[in-house]
Structure 1
Amino acid sequence: MPKHPTDLMNVESRFSDEEIALRDQVAEFVDRRIRPHIGTWYDQAILPTELLPEMAELGLFGMHLQGYGCAGRSAVEYGIAMQELEAGDSGLRTVVSVQGSLAMSAIYKHGSEEQKKHWLSQMAAGKVIGCFGLTEPTAGSDPSTMKTQANWVNGRWVIHGQKRWIGLASIAQVAIIWAVVPVKDLIAAGVDTGDKTDGVMVRGFIVPTNTNGFKAEAITGKLSMRASLQCDIELKAVTVEADALLPNNPGLKGPFMCLNEARYGIAWGAMGAARDSIEAALDYSAERLQFNKPLSAYQLTQKKLVDMTLELNKGQLLALELGRAKDAGKMELHQISVGKLANCRAAIEICREARTIFGGNGITVDYSPLRHASNLESVRTYEGTDEVHTLILGQKLTGEAAFR
């Protein structure tokens, strides 16, 4: 029998023994360390940083990367872990995404061998926390308009600019900062620019957060992702050595390669929030009596539960198909947009509908669906909004780029 009553299609039967063992390990961590406290953390807007070493011990940081102290898990295993974490809370899943899919992936995909050896093992062990500085106050969906700039001055890189909505920045020890760099400065620094001799290029830099001029402050007043940490970053003449530059994959290709890793994880994670909401509604409806019988005995309640579970199972199968294709090296980039768009869209509707089964009780932190739905407002926005992914898929279908 499947572990979850919502598994009408027996998705679990498609998992290997090793995948099930990982799922159970992460689920046990969520049940023991997250579920008992998440309502309080969310209500008080606290990121429980004491969980970070435990996440590292579970091998969750950079778990899909090979070598350098990373777990070397498959794409499907990574996805399964993200589903279980987000069943606890989107904010806690985001910690793993920022650390592994963004900050660590940037160094792994674009860094030198020396940079990888220096940083990745420390980050996998949770001894160093990273953040990923791409989004700016006026450059969200269109990062090509970023204003943060790095210049080559007296043999060092000097960075000026601002970043916004940067996960973990105020507790991170290292930041991956993306900036535009004049080509003439790259040439002066001895960096290969191909056939470009003018203009600017987007490049990534590894910036220790204790560098003079680096300032990160948590964004407050959030109505979503409250048990999480997103920050503003200010960079005032932040000066780093020549070897802070990530040498590989220049241009926007660099950050987008990392974003695609995070987007893939979201396709799985959103289904964790959806599954938890349905199962909470199942439990509540079986116990809550109205007109002398449980809510679960009413046709309207059963219709809600069935409709939600059908969408859940479709989303889980989509995520699994993506993961198997990714592991086989056959996943196409537009398919990540299919997974991110479809599963975020489905998950937020599931969580909202699940909340209705709780009536007024459902607006409290005692029950998870509305917390999940609120978090998913952020999840559907970051790593590409619904609109951006729609246009990516529209371009795939029509051959026409309609972004501008």
Structure 2
Amino acid sequence: MSTRTVAFVGLGYIGLPTAVVMANHGLKVTGVDINAANVERINRGEVTIVEPGLEEQLQKAVSSGNLKATTEMPHADVYVIAVPTPFKENYEGDLSYIMAAAENIAPQLKGDELIILESTSPPKTTQKLAAKVLELRPDLVADGTENPEGKPVIYFAYCPERILPGYAMEELITNSRIIGGQTAKATEIAKEIYGAFCTGELVATDDVTAEMAKLTENSFRDVNIAFANELSLISDKLGIDVWELISLANKHPRVNILQPGPGVGGHCIAVDPWFIVSTDRENSNLIRTAREVNDGKPEWVISKVKEAAGSSPEPVIAALGLAFKPNIDDLRESPAMDITKRLAVEFGHGTVIAVEPNVSALPKKLEGIDNVEFADYETAIERADIVVLLVDHDEFKTVAATALAGKQIVDTKGIWR
């Protein structure tokens, strides 16, 4: 196993930390990404994302020679694909990034390579990936298929990540891992790779079950968050403090309700349930309803800001937090970002001050909007008539009550109750 080389395709929020951990556990890793500027930075040991502990580990991996980054696909013994999988307007998975990776990998194959898909994907995506590779390389066959001509064999597996941003460097090593090989041999090779750095249990299954398991994990969380968000809507009408309500209910030994918020974001929980829905629309009613509840929560936040503004024609609104969860810089599928943009539209004659302590400039999604400014939270709160707490970053938890005195507050996370 020590002689196997790994090409890690996609150096984003999952790919870069995983490639670094692999390299620092003795694997020879080439990271592949289409962003040339990020490739150059990585090769200098500079992080391109906010993740505690990553910078030191990246520098170690680069200086050891076990990790290098490139925009060109190399030959490797193992290919790991961790590229984006957004959904289309009909909520079906957009597999274009995966298929583009397949097109780049296919010319490099010689036989005996393992291709692992890590990207969160609809069921049977690994099968589609394999079909694409073999369509491009008819001189090869997938392991487990008839091979009377004795063609070189390629192996395929699906091995999803299940890390929490902000804890990636630890959880990549300690969390258990699902190994979904299309064949026993594919599973065996994949176990060797993940066993090089993962101390958690390596659980073997097939590729389709592994794909569905990943979606199931995040759909479970989405349904539970939707329950909390629905309680917040009902509590608001009844004049109840929803956080007190949940705290009281959670005193029951078998009840563990999650916390409500302005919606659900990130590339996993906000996306994965739709992959199940699009796969079987007839039997996914609960999962679909939960998604609709969570997708509708930003509209409720907007309505609360409108109530706070009253008849004020030009309110100054501080929108605190743009990331999809606390203490990270990940803005993907963030309800806070969407709410901030919507506030700028709804209050066109007012001013919206966007605050995100984990990024250094106004995100592109908010650029070009005349009434949106970017500032630190202290300046934003001081200037604001209305303060909208969207993400419970640590910085916001220490805001003094005197700083909020006289302001209209919309606290979607319950930290200033």
Superposition TM-score tier, normalisation by shorter sequence: under 0.3
The structure carrying a bigger helix percent of its residues is 1
Give the structure, 1 or 2, with the largest relative contact order (CA under 8 Å, sep 6 or more). 1
* Structure label with greater radius of gyration: 2
